[in-house]
Amino acid sequence: MDERLIELSELDRGLKQQGYIADERTMQVLRYSLLLNKPVLIEGPAGAGKTELAKAWSRFLGRTLIRLQCYEGIDEAKALYEWNYQKQLLYIQTQSADLKLWSAAGRNIYTEEFLLTRPLLQAIRQPNPAVLLIDEIDKSDEEFESFLLEILSDWQVSIPETGTVSAVTIPSVMITSNSTRDMSHALRRRCIYLYLDYPNAERELDIIRLYFPALNETLGRRIVAFVRKLRLEKLKKHPSISEVLDWTAALTCMEAETLTADLALGTMNILIKYHEDWQKITSKIQDKGWFDGIHHS
C-alpha cells in the first residue's frame, strides 16, 4: 500500500485502533505530510495530545518512533552525535608509540566505532523510514532551531571530522510546541502547520469511551462538562487529556454513576497539580451554583 494514498476512513479507523481519535483537519495534515515529505509543526496547549498523536502515528504506520526531547540548553551533541572521548583516549593509550602520532591516530578514532549517534542522526540513518518526534521545541533556543534547518531542508547533516551524512531514508517528522516562544519563519516555512487544541465535548467523550467502553453515560457527560468548565478558569495548569483519563479510571473504580460535589472534591488531586489552582477550584466546587452548572452545560 502506498502510504501517501491513505484514505481518511482508513486513517480514522487505524488511529482509533492505536487509541487516538483525531478530527478531519488533523488527519488531512498527516496525509499532506506523507505526500510532500514535510515535517508537521504542531502547536497547542500542554496536554492537548500532541505527543500522543506522534506515538499513535508511528504505530499506525508501523514505524520506529525516535524521540528528541528538547530542553533549555540542548545542543548538537545531545541531538545529533558526539564522539566517545573516553573510548578514543583508551584506544590511543593502548596503541604502540608510532600510532600515537596524531596523523595516524586521527584516522582511526574518527570512525563508526567511536561515534555515539543521537536521535536526529539515528532517524536519517534508519534502513526503513522512522517517525521522528522533536518534542517541545519551544524549550530550546533560537540557535538550536536554526541548526535543525539543514536537516529539515536537505535531509543531511555535516560532521566536520568525517563529512556530510545524507539520509538513508526520510523520516516522518513531527515537531511539537507549547507556544512558550514563537518559532521562526524559516522553520514554519519548512513545515505543514497544525494547531491542536483540547477536543470539543463530543470528541473528548468519544476519547473517554474509547478507553472505557462500559462507562456510565451520565457519568461520562458529567466528566466532560466538569473538565471543560475547569479549562475556562484561569489556572496555572489545565487538566490534560491523559489526566482526564486517569480521573475517569479512578471514578470507574469507585463505581460512581454520576459526579457529585463531594466526589469531585475528593478526587480533585488527580486533575489539579498546583496548590493555588486546588484552592481556587475547591472554592468553586463548594459554590453550589457553579457546580450545578455542569448539569446544564
CATH code: domain of residue 189: 3.40.50.300
Phi then psi for residue 158, to 5 deg, are -105, 125
Domain co-membership, 55 together with 179: yes
From 195, 229, 244, the end of a domain falls on 195
Distance, CA of 107 to CA of 104 (rounded, Å): 6
Domain co-membership, 150 together with 225: no
Domain co-membership, 61 together with 91: no
Domain co-membership, 136 together with 249: no
CA dihedral 260, 265, 267, 273 (to 10 degrees): 140
- How many residues in the chain? 297
Domain co-membership, 55 together with 111: no
Distance, CA of 81 to CA of 271 (rounded, Å): 39
Domain co-membership, 169 together with 289: no
Domain co-membership, 149 together with 163: yes
17: β partners? none
From 195, 212, 240, the end of a domain falls on 195
Domain count, the chain: 3
Written as tens digits, the pLDDT of the chain (297 aa) is: 456 678 899 999 999 999 999 999 999 999 999 999 899 999 999 999 999 999 999 999 999 999 999 999 998 888 988 888 888 788 777 765 555 555 556 667 777 778 888 999 999 999 999 999 999 999 999 889 888 887 888 888 878 777 788 889 999 999 999 988 999 999 999 999 999 999 999 999 999 999 999 999 999 999 999 999 999 999 999 999 999 999 999 999 999 999 999 999 999 999 999 999 999 999 999 888 888 777 655
In whole angstroms, how far apart are CA 10 and each of 25, 75, 110, 130?
15, 39, 47, 20
Domain co-membership, 162 together with 68: yes
Domain co-membership, 149 together with 57: yes
Strands 172-177 and 131-135, how do they pair?
Answer: parallel
Q: Describe the strand order of the beta sheet including 131-135 as a list of residue ranges.
A: 65-69, 131-135, 172-177, 40-43, 192-195
Q: What is the pLDDT of residue 1?
A: 47
Q: Where are the beta strands (DSSP E) in the chain?
A: 40-43, 65-69, 81-83, 115-117, 131-135, 156-159, 163-166, 172-177, 192-195
**Domain of 105, in residue numbers:** 81-117
CA angle 69, 14, 7 (to 5 degrees): 110
Residues ≥6 apart with Cβ < 8 Å to 260: none
Domain co-membership, 184 together with 214: no
Q: What is the pLDDT of residue 159?
A: 81
Domain co-membership, 288 together with 217: yes
195: β partners? 43
135: β partners? 69
Strands 131-135 and 163-166, how do they pair?
Answer: unpaired
Domain co-membership, 99 together with 126: no
Q: What is the pLDDT of residue 3?
A: 62
Tell me, what amino acid is at 287?
A: D
Residues ≥6 apart with Cβ < 8 Å to 86: none
